[in-house]
Amino acid sequence: MTRPTSTDPNDYEILIRRRGEAEYASYCPQLARMVRGTEHVEVEDAMKAIVLQYIAEIGNGSIDSSKPS
């Protein structure tokens, strides 16, 4: 799998799942990353921050998108 090269945050899906009363997880399939927490907003905001950090790293050349993840 090659790493995504898009700098548009809207190209990255954020999927959120609730399990039980106070367990949430967000997942970004394009980055194959998951975050767990106790609130919907908590995991959503954390994943948005991960996506934005990834995009920033693409912009400054910290990530080689030609290498598999």
pLDDT at 3: 85
3-state helix, strand, coil in the chain (%, to 5): 35, 25, 40
Average pLDDT in the 1-26 region? 93
pLDDT at 8: 95
Domain boundaries, the chain: 9-59
Tens digits of residue pLDDT in 20-54: 999 999 999 999 999 999 999 999 999 999 999 99
- At a CB cut-off of 8 Å and minimum separation 6, what does 68 contact? 1, 2, 3
pLDDT surpasses 90 at 14: yes
pTM, 2 dp: 0.84
- Distances in Å between the Cα of 47 and the Cα atoms of 21, 51, 62, 67 are 20, 6, 19, 22
